Amino acid sequence: MFEIYNTNQHFIDFHNSNKKSIGFVPTMGNLHQGHISLLEKSLQENEVSILSIYVNPTQFAKNEDLSSYPRTLEEDLDKIKKMQERFPNKNVIVFIPENETTIYPLGFNDFVTIPELNQVSEGEIRPTHFDGVATVVKRLFAITKPNKAYFGKKDYQQLVIIKKLVEKENLNVEIIGMPIIREPSGLAMSSRNNYLSLIEKEEATILSKTLNTIAAELQNNSFESAIDLINTNLKNKKFNYLEIRNSESFELAKAYDSNFVLLGNYQIQQTRLLDNIEVNK
C-alpha cells in the first residue's frame, strides 16, 4: 500500500490504530539512489515505512540555497512507488507537510541545540545548520513516532548529531547509519550534484580520490604521514577542510585512536561538496 499524508491529523489517526513497526526516512526530496537505499532498508526491517519530503528552512542560512534547492516531487513519488512495489505486503507513507505550520505551528519554540558538535567541521562554515537539523528531526520524530530511523553516512556529522539528540532527549528511536551510495566515478550521490556541469562532476571526483589516498596512508603508514598528506592537499584552496576525527566521539583524532573518519569538503563555484570515509585500525 502507498499513501500520502499532508497533515498531523493524518498521523494522529494512523497512530491511534497502528500496531505495526515503523521505519522513518527523513529527506529533502530530489531523491536519488542514496535516499532510495535508506527506504529499501526500512522496507526490509519494518512493516510501515514513512519517508518525509520537506525542505526545512531552519537548516539553511540566509545566503544559502533554500529557494533554489531542487524540487522534483513527481519523479520522487515514482521512485518511491517503484521501490514499494518490490515489497507488496509492506506499507509506505510519504509525508509531504502541507505547509510550514504543519512542522512549525504558531508559537513553536522547541528549538534544539547540540553545542558540543554544532560549531566544528561543517558547523564552522554553517554555524546554524545543525541546530536546524536537530530541531526538525526531533519534530518529525514526534509526528511520525518511528521505531527506527535511517540516515546516510554521507552526512556523517549529521548522523553523530542525531545520535546525540536521541541520547540527550531520551527519544525512543533506534538510529541506523547507512553506507554512502556513489556514482561509478566515486562521486558521492547528492541532490546538490545537480548544480554541477559534466566537467565539474569530473572535477568533483578529486574529493573521493583524495580521501581514499589519505585513508590508505592512514591504514598502511602512520597517522602523522596522513596528516602530512592532508596539509599538502590543503594547498589546493578549493578544499574547505580535510580532517581526521574519531568516528564515535567526533573529536579531532589522536594518533592512538583506532576508529577514524576522514572528512572533506570541496568547493566548486557556489556548491560545497561533502564526503567522508571511515578507517578502522
Catalytic residue check, 10: no
Give, in order, the Cα–Cα distances in Å from 232 to each of 50, 239, 277.
44, 11, 19
CA-based R_g, the chain, Å: 19
Residue 250 binds ligand AMP, judged by CB under 6 A = no
Q: What sign for the dihedral angle of Cα 258, 235, 191, 28?
A: positive
Of 10, 15, 32, 35, the active-site residue reads 35
Residue 97 binds ligand AMP, judged by CB under 6 A = no
Residue 118 binds ligand AMP, judged by CB under 6 A = no
- Report, in Å, the least distance between residue 152 CB and ligand AMP: 2
Q: Treating both helix axes as pointing N-terminal to C-terminal, what angle do 73-85 and 33-45 enclose, rounded to 10 degrees?
A: 40
Contact residue for ligand AMP among 52, 121, 157, 191 (CB under 6 A): 191
For residues 57 to 86, the per-residue mask of contacts with ligand AMP, x marking binding by CB under 6 A and - elsewhere, is ------------------------------
For residues 132 to 161, the per-residue mask of contacts with ligand AMP, x marking binding by CB under 6 A and - elsewhere, is -------------------xx-xx------
How many residues contact ligand AMP, by CB under 6 A?
A: 17
- Residue among 21 and 72 whose Cβ is closer to ligand AMP: 72
**Structural element, H or E, at residue 156:** helix 156-169
Residue 275 binds ligand AMP, judged by CB under 6 A = no
Whether 263 and 120 have beta carbons less than 8 Å apart is answered as no
Whether 51 and 94 have beta carbons less than 8 Å apart is answered as yes
Span of 62-70, 95-103, 176-184, 197-205 interacting with ligand AMP by CB under 6 A: 176-184
- Residue among 51 and 229 whose Cβ is closer to ligand AMP: 51
Whether 148 and 42 have beta carbons less than 8 Å apart is answered as yes
Q: What is the dihedral of CA 224, 230, 235, 238, to 10 degrees?
A: -170
Whether 140 and 113 have beta carbons less than 8 Å apart is answered as no
- Residue among 28 and 206 whose Cβ is closer to ligand AMP: 28
> Which 8-state DSSP code applies to residue 268?
E
> Counting Cβ atoms within 10 Å, is residue 32 exposed (0-12), middle (13-18) or buried (19+)?
middle
The C-alpha atoms of residue 34 and residue 38 are separated, in whole angstroms, by 7
- Residue among 34 and 264 whose Cβ is closer to ligand AMP: 34
Contact residue for ligand AMP among 190, 208, 210, 265 (CB under 6 A): 190
The CB-nearest residue to ligand AMP is 152
Task: Give, as ranges, the residues between 21 and 50 that touch ligand AMP (CB under 6 A).
Answer: 27-28, 34-35, 37-38
Active site residues per annotation: 35
- The residues binding ligand AMP (CB under 6 A) are 27-28, 34-35, 37-38, 151-152, 154-155, 178, 180-181, 188-191
